[in-house]
């Protein structure tokens, strides 16, 4: 080897070392991924004469560099490569259909590709040593970018977990912890959120010695947004019911509150009823909710569907109709529930039939609301077995004596 060749070789090693040091500094300084790619491309251009390069990180679905081709076309190319061939950590020649790119290197972590590096033609005199260095450099940069993505993903997951914990605490404060029981009526609830934070809400409010209000709602969405919506809705409900003259007016005001808060992006179904213990009359409005059931002592089953449409869809509701039902001297059971109950399916794909809940109530009509709910919950568990609930399940039951 001549002195010139030795000098050239040493100079190239020097460039390689400087490049590795620069890349290491960028990684240690937690520099942006595009800066890592820029340093990598600078080396390719200055040392190997490569004019065009790009890097694809599949887990983040992110491209770096110049991509004239349709990215979908390139992804199809990646998927079509022989796994055994691309795992050999060598330069792979690309078909002529990939305009502007001639070679590719695939970086693997265990069995999964974590990066695809493409570049234009390399100088013909490029040695195997240079090619190996390029592959090493690609591996370092690809793993660094992948790790940055995974770290960000972990941070985002932790942040989301904290938000869910906070939202769950908010929701637990909104759901009544105990419901009234006396010689005139008793109430009981079941609440099974599909996630740690669900979109179902119910409430039970003693208005005065003769009247109580019960309601249930199913808010679109889950998580933090649903919890915040629920909190706002409960606050609106509890402040408004004291100053309105009818359930019709209450529902209209609640709709305006929901619409102005979300501008139609969040909607909810809602059922609200007031029972007068003295007159034995039930007044209610159903705003797009699956009809609650009023089951009387004589085994009459009345679906309560009178009302209006979902809340939050329009700034002004269509005409609201208030339902009225006189139960007379009979005892009655009022059961309200969200669609998580009827959307529940078993391993045969059959949905939980409403009639099963009705049968349990009829068979246990003399029992209190708590016992009835326990038997309904047992029926739900026997029906679904180990199948995960597809949605929140909320049931609010009141036994009127």
Q: What is the 3-state secondary structure (H, E, C) of 233-296?
A: HHHHHHHHHHHCCCHHHHHHHHHHHHHHHHCCCCCEEEEEEEEECCCCEEEEEEEECCCCEEEE
How many Cβ atoms sit within 10 Å of the Cβ of residue 153?
Answer: 12
Q: Is the pLDDT of residue 219 over 70?
A: yes
CB 262 within 8 A of CB 295: no
Asked if 357 and 387 touch (Cβ cutoff 8 Å), the reply is no
pTM for this predicted structure:
0.67
Whose tokens are 């009022």? That residue is 334
Is-contact 118 53, C-beta < 8 A?
yes
Contact partners, residue 315, CB within 8 Å, separation at least 6: 256, 259, 260
Range 260-274 average pLDDT? 89
Handedness of CA 155, 157, 162, 166 (dihedral sign): positive
Structure tokens at 155: 């941070």
Domain ranges of the chain: 3-155, 175-400
Q: 215, 270 in Cβ contact below 8 A?
A: yes
| Residue linked to tokens 């790790």 | 147
- Residue 390: its pLDDT value, please? 63
Supply the pLDDT for residue 177: 82
SS3 212: strand
Q: Which of 373, 352, 351 is nearest to 364 (CA)?
A: 373
Phi and psi at 99, nearest 5°, equal: -70, 130
Which residue in the block uniquely carries the two structure tokens 């009023």?
294
Q: Indicate the pairing of strand 112-119 with strand 185-192.
A: unpaired
Given CATH 3.30.70.270, say whether it is the number of domain 175-400.
no
CA end-to-end span of the chain: 105
pLDDT at 317: 93
178-202 pLDDT, tens digit per residue, is 899 899 999 999 988 766 566 788 9
75 alpha-carbon distance from chain centroid: 27
CA distance 141 to 102: 20
Give the fold, CATH level 3, of 3-155. Answer: Beta-Lactamase (3.30.450)
The pLDDT value given to residue 256? 93
Give SS3 for 367.
Answer: coil
d(CA 312, CA 191): 24
Cα separation, 237 vs 213, in Å, equals 11
Q: Can you tell me whether residue 205 is helix, strand or coil?
A: strand
Confidence of residue 1 (pLDDT cuts 50, 70, 90): low
Q: How confident is the model at residue 88 (pLDDT cuts 50, 70, 90)?
A: very low
Task: Give 131's contacts (C-beta < 8 A, 6+ positions apart).
Answer: 90, 91, 122
Q: Is the dihedral of CA 86, 90, 91, 92 positive or negative?
A: negative
Of 26 and 373, the structure prediction assigns the larger pLDDT to 373
Q: Rounded mean pLDDT of the chain? A: 82
Three-state SS for 63-129 is: EEECCCCCHHHHHHHHHHCCHHHHCCCCCEECCCCCCCCCEEEEEEECCEEEEEEEECCCCCCCCHH
* 332 in Cβ contact with 297 (< 8 Å): yes
Q: Is the pLDDT of residue 37 over 70?
A: yes
Tens digits of residue pLDDT in 202-217: 999 999 999 999 999 9
How many residues are present in the chain?
Answer: 401
SS3 44: helix
* φ and ψ of 36, to 5 deg: -65, -45
Per the model's pLDDT, the better-predicted residue between 378 and 38 turns out to be 378
């Amino acid at each position: 080897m001549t002195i010139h060749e030795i000098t050239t070789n040493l100079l190239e090693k020097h460039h390689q070392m400087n490049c590795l040091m620069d890349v290491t500094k960028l990684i240690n300084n937690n520099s942006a991924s595009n800066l890592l790619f820029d340093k990598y491309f600078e080396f390719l251009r200055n040392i190997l004469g490569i004019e065009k390069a790009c890097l694809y990180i599949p887990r983040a679905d992110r491209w770096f560099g110049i991509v004239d081709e349709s990215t979908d076309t390139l992804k199809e190319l990646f998927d079509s490569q022989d796994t055994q061939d691309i795992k050999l950590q060598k330069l792979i020649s690309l078909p002529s259909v990939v305009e502007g790119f001639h070679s590719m290197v695939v970086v693997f972590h265990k069995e999964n590709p974590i990066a695809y590096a493409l570049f234009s033609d390399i100088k013909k005199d490029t040695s195997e040593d240079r090619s190996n260095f390029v592959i090493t450099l690609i591996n370092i940069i690809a793993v660094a970018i992948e790790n940055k993505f995974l770290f960000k993903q972990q941070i985002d997951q932790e942040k989301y977990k904290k938000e869910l914990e906070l939202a769950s605490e908010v929701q637990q404060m909104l759901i009544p912890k105990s419901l009234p029981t006396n010689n005139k009526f008793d109430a009981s609830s079941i609440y099974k959120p599909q996630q740690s934070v669900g979109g179902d809400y119910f409430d039970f409010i003693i208005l005065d010695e003769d009247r109580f209000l019960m309601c249930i709602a199913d808010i679109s969405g889950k998580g933090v947004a649903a919890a915040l919506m629920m909190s706002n809705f409960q606050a609106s409900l509890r402040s408004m019911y004291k100053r309105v003259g009818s359930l019709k007016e209450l529902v209209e005001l609640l709709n305006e509150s929901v619409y102005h808060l979300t501008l139609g992006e969040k909607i909810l179904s809602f059922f609200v009823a007031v029972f007068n213990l003295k007159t034995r009359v039930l007044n209610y409005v159903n705003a797009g909710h699956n009809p609650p059931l009023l089951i009387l002592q004589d085994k009459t089953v009345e679906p309560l569907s009178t009302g209006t449409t979902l809340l939050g869809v329009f700034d002004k509701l269509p005409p609201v109709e208030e339902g009225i039902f006189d139960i007379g001297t009979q005892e009655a059971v009022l059961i309200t529930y969200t669609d998580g109950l009827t959307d529940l399916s078993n391993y045969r794909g059959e949905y939980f039939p409403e009639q099963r809940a009705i049968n349990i109530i009829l068979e246990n009509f003399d029992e209190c609301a708590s016992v009835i709910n326990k038997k309904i919950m047992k029926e739900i568990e026997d029906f679904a077995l180990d199948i995960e609930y597809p949605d929140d399940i909320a049931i609010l039951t009141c036994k009127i004596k």
